């Protein structure tokens, strides 16, 4: 049986690790390569680097971080943040990334998903979705009538794209995405638990793996997300980054809760 | 020296990095001469079966791999590289493979399960081989694939279950194939690469 995955995320700016809480209040800490090595040692199933650098030199710096990590860490590496073109995919895959995640650019030009899937294979195309509850679905013709309605936000969560998040996830799969990384902006940074309703709404419409993100806090929150939803993986940043507990603590808690996990 | 065969498909540098990390001298190469000079060969690969076989043929690498393997040189195919070791593949169209292990490659049929089979899955030892010396049944390795080998049980060293039996590590004499990615399977994967390097 496939293991449910635990994925630490490292937010990287100008080659350094930071962690945004609710996307503001950024604190600079640590070398991403050393952090990745440490997470690998703790039993991470995969590592995500999220590049939040705003300048043009960004790609080269991030590619170098990936390159140096791939020399030392032998688990899948995913890189996202500011991906605009299939050539951005190529550069990061060449540097040693196994998957690349695309967010805003896919909302503005969904063909990047199909182009990247065609050129590099669906297995390396992750579509990251930042979403927020905007009320209740009021259209009686919608299959989600009366349920919570979610909108996709772009530009690091600043802009409502006016797009239904569940519908967008379904479309992303149809275009060739290999995985969905779903961040709930309602739970992100709260450490109060993952957004089970939002996750399950997406899990019900796609067959590709869904990574839960936003709200990972207590050890129990990682057990609950797999009991209450069909998510395949859970991603978290600050709980691991500030050493509240290590990845293996989460795995042991999951195992105790009857969730299949990989224990090193 | 281990030759990591470059035919324009897939992430060769992960394999190169893992071998380097383990201390095995290796070269990423498309030169049949280097394949002949090497002690061992690794055939990586991500992509589709017909395209990969075409590339190998165009570079004259199919014959070089076959003759080196038939002369007894250890060969390890990884993921698509493992699938190419069989007689035929049925991805898109019927395509002849390298025919170093009996069997063929076909779609995973698991209507209730997600395809590709992606993530960390458990393997069980079917027939021990030198590559499984440090592996225990229940160890997890990293898979990403939509097709699987169909071959005699006697050729299967490790298998996983995904709606059906899926060969994970196969071998015939000096020819080995891993459906999973040992270079992305953490400590367990490194043990398998290390065992291959020490053959």
CATH code at position B19: 3.40.50.880
Query: How many structural domains is chain B composed of?
Result: 1
B120 interfaces chain A, CB cutoff of 8 Å: yes
Task: Give the tens place of pLDDT for each residue, A128-158.
Answer: 999 999 999 998 988 889 999 999 999 888 8
Closest CA to A183 of A228, A145, A153, A141: A153
Which residue of A203, A262, A264 is the best one to mutate when testing the B interface, meaning the one whose CB has the most B CBs within 10 A? A262
Listed in sequence order, the residues at least 6 apart from A167 whose beta carbon sits closer than 8 Å to its beta carbon are none
Q: Active-site residue numbers of A? A: 11, 130
Determine the Cα–Cα distance for residues B2 and A254; give it in Å rounded to an integer.
Answer: 40
What confidence score (pLDDT) does residue A31 get? 84
Contact B46 A121 (CB under 8 A): yes
> Would the pLDDT of A177 be above 70?
yes
Query: How many structural domains is chain A composed of?
Result: 1
> Would the pLDDT of A236 be above 70?
yes
Answer whether residue A219 is part of any domain: yes
Q: Which residues from chain B sit within 8 angstroms of residue A75, using beta carbons?
A: 142, 184-186
Which residue of B142, B145, B161, B163 is the best one to mutate when testing the A interface, meaning the one whose CB has the most A CBs within 10 A? B142
Contact B184 A75 (CB under 8 A): yes
Minimal C-alpha gap between A233 and chain B (Å): 10
Residue A194 sits in a domain of what CATH number?
Answer: 3.20.20.70
B187 interfaces chain A, CB cutoff of 8 Å: yes
Cis peptide before A109 (omega within 30 of 0): no
Answer whether residue A229 is part of any domain: yes
Q: Which residues from chain B sit within 8 angstroms of residue A207, using beta carbons?
A: 114-115
Residue of B nearest to A75 (CA): B184
Q: Which of residues 6-65 of A touch B (CB under 8 A)?
A: 40, 45
Please state whether beta strands A47-51 and A24-28 pair in parallel, antiparallel, or not at all (unpaired). unpaired
Residue B110: band (very low, low, confident or very high) from pLDDT cuts 50, 70, 90: confident
Can you tell me the mean pLDDT for B178-198? 97
What confidence score (pLDDT) does residue A56 get? 60
Residue of B nearest to A90 (CA): B11
Task: Give the tens place of pLDDT for each residue, A53-111.
Answer: 766 666 778 999 999 999 999 999 999 988 999 999 988 998 999 999 999 999 999 99
Measured CA distances, A145 to A129, A138, A205, A261 (Å): 22, 6, 15, 36
Q: Which residue range forms the structural domain that includes residue A133? A: 5-256
Can you tell me the mean pLDDT for B176-191? 97
Q: Which residues from chain A sit within 8 angstroms of residue B162, using beta carbons?
A: 2
Determine the Cα–Cα distance for residues A89 and A98; give it in Å rounded to an integer.
Answer: 10
Answer whether residue A264 is part of any domain: no
Determine the Cα–Cα distance for residues B124 and B138; give it in Å rounded to an integer.
Answer: 6
Answer whether residue A262 is part of any domain: no
Contact B46 A208 (CB under 8 A): no
ipTM of the complex: 0.91
Q: Which residue range forms the structural domain that includes residue B148? A: 2-197
Q: Active-site residue numbers of B? A: 79, 181, 183
Please state whether beta strands A179-184 and A125-136 pair in parallel, antiparallel, or not at all (unpaired). parallel
């Amino acid at each position: 049986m496939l293991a449910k995955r635990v994925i630490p995320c490292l937010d990287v700016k100008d080659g350094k690790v930071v962690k945004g809480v609710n996307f503001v209040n950024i604190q600079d800490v640590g070398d991403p390569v050393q952090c990745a090595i440490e997470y690998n040692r703790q039993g991470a199933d995969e590592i995500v680097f999220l590049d939040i650098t705003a300048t043009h030199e960004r790609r080269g710096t991030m590619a170098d971080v990936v390159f140096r990590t791939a020399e030392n860490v032998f688990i899948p590496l995913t890189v996202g943040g500011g991906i605009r073109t299939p050539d951005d995919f190529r550069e990061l895959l060449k540097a040693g990334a196994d998957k690349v995640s695309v967010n805003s650019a896919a909302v503005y030009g969904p063909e990047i998903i199909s182009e990247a899937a065609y050129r590099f294979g669906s297995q390396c195309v992750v579509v990251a979705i930042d979403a927020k509850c905007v009320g209740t679905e009021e259209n009686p013709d919608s299959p989600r009538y009366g349920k919570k309605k979610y909108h996709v936000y772009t530009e690091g969560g600043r802009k409502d794209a006016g797009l239904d998040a569940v519908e967008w996830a379904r479309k992303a799969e149809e275009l060739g995405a290999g995985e969905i990384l779903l961040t709930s902006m309602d739970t992100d940074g709260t450490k109060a638990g993952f957004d089970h309703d939002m996750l399950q709404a997406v899990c019900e419409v796609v067959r590709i793996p869904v990574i839960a993100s936003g709200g990972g806090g207590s050890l129990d929150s990682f057990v609950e997300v797999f009991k209450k939803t069909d998510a395949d993986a859970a991603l978290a940043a600050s709980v691991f980054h500030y050493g509240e507990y290590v990845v293996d603590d989460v795995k042991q808690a999951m195992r105790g809760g009857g969730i299949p996990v990989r224990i090193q | 020296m281990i030759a990591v065969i470059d035919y324009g498909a897939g992430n060769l540098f992960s394999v190169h990095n893992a071998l380097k990390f383990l201390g095995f001298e290796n070269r990423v190469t498309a030169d049949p001469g280097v394949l002949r000079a090497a002690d061992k060969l690794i055939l990586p690969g991500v992509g589709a079966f017909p395209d990969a076989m075409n590339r190998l043929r165009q570079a004259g690498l199919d014959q070089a791999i076959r003759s080196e393997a038939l002369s007894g040189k250890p060969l390890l195919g990884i993921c698509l590289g493992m699938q190419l070791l069989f007689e035929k593949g049925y991805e898109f169209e019927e395509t002849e493979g390298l025919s170093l292990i009996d069997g063929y490659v076909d779609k995973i049929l698991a209507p209730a399960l997600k395809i590709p089979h992606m993530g960390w899955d458990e393997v069980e030892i079917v027939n021990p081989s030198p590559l499984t010396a440090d592996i225990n049944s229940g160890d997890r390795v990293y898979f990403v694939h939509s097709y699987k080998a169909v071959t005699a049980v006697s050729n299967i060293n490790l298998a996983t279950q995904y709606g059906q039996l899926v060969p994970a590590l196969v071998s015939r004499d000096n020819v080995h194939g891993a459906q999973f990615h040992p270079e992305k399977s953490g400590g367990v994967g490194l043990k398998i690469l290390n065992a291959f390097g020490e053959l």
